[in-house]
Amino acid sequence: MTAPRVAPRVAAVFFGRPGAGSFNAAGVQGLARAAGAHGLTPEVAWEADPARRAATVAALAARADLVIAHGGQGEAGVAQAAPAFPRVAFAVTQGRITGSNIACFEVLQEQSAFLAGALAGWWMKGEVAAHLSGERVPPGLRGRAGFAAGLRFARPSARLLTGFCGDQHDPALARAWTMAQAKAGAELQFAMLDGGRPGAIAACRDAGLRAIGNVRDWTLEDPVFLASAIADNGVTIEAAISAFLDGRFEGQRIGLEAPQAVRLALARDVAPELTARVTALAKDVLAGVVEVPETYEGAEWAP
């Protein structure tokens, strides 16, 4: 008689607080989809303190077969913890670190951000656009680089007010930075935030800026959004669990070729000719005619 198959022990850590922000929300949804599809009961941990990330990852690894660190904030913690647990697989979403028991799974936010930057350049009447994020983690830097390159592609003369306020989850801080960007002449803002986004949205409304969101389709939720650079990171958790269960634990990168995961969503008031230009540019990116850079060499901005 064959012994019953034992389900692997899967754990996931999210860096923030439950219910705050679209990035973590997308990850939670992806974990739920994967758990349902494979009959798993994952352990979930939340870690809002950057100083405790490595310890939290290690604590999960002590009782798991697969640990998923959701977001680029998890790179350093996994890099510290993984060598001590050689029999545990570690997945980092939106990460690029390597190791014998580490694999990274990412959606290419920089590709949809590039389209967002191009749309901004074509749409603006003035010459100033803004970008705002919290922590200077690698995926956030790549997203900023994509937006800056798209803006430069569409309007080389444009000025970009780009900065990292230091916290993904602080609405008051995001509001203050957004109001300062508006005062400095910005006409629209591309924000890569999580729990802090409500502050940026409120400031955009008050100051008359249009917003460009990320991760999910914000144009369906608030008319202040001109567009949203979708990068559904929940699919990275699904991909990580599938790869582990299939015995092919290798990293994956998912871009515009998978529009259900990566695309630029447009508000209904975006002119048809701009929609056509964005569609054509996406095809050029996929064909390799236009390259999306991963680094930004321009000036930084702060209030």
pLDDT at 167: 93
Whether residue 126 is contained in a domain is answered as yes
Task: Report the C-alpha gap between 197 and 193 in whole angstroms.
Answer: 5
pLDDT in tens, the chain (303 residues): 333 456 899 999 999 888 766 888 899 999 999 999 999 999 999 998 999 999 999 999 999 999 999 998 899 999 999 999 999 999 999 999 999 999 999 999 999 999 999 999 999 999 999 999 999 988 899 999 999 999 999 999 999 999 999 999 899 999 999 999 999 999 999 999 988 999 999 999 999 999 999 999 999 999 999 999 999 999 999 999 999 999 999 999 999 999 999 999 999 999 999 999 999 999 999 999 999 999 999 999 999
Whether residue 137 is contained in a domain is answered as yes
Whether residue 260 is contained in a domain is answered as no
Do both 199 and 243 map to the same domain? no
Do both 143 and 239 map to the same domain? no
Do both 85 and 200 map to the same domain? no
Whether residue 150 is contained in a domain is answered as yes
Do both 100 and 55 map to the same domain? yes
Whether residue 2 is contained in a domain is answered as no
Domain count, the chain: 2
Q: At what angle do helices 171-183 and 197-207 cross, to 10 degrees?
A: 30
Whether residue 265 is contained in a domain is answered as no
Do both 191 and 276 map to the same domain? yes
Do both 164 and 117 map to the same domain? yes
Pairing of strands 262-266, 225-231: antiparallel
Do both 220 and 87 map to the same domain? no
pLDDT at 6: 66
Do both 49 and 136 map to the same domain? no
pLDDT at 255: 96
Whether residue 1 is contained in a domain is answered as no
Please report, in angstroms and rounded to a whole number, the separation of the first and last CA atoms in the chain. Answer: 70
pLDDT at 20: 67
CATH number of the domain to which 45 belongs? 3.40.50.2300
pTM of the predicted protein model: 0.87
pLDDT at 72: 87
Do both 36 and 145 map to the same domain? no
Do both 100 and 37 map to the same domain? yes
Whether residue 87 is contained in a domain is answered as yes
* Residue-range definition of the domain harbouring residue 46: 10-107+233-254
Do both 167 and 279 map to the same domain? yes
pLDDT at 19: 75
Do both 186 and 279 map to the same domain? yes
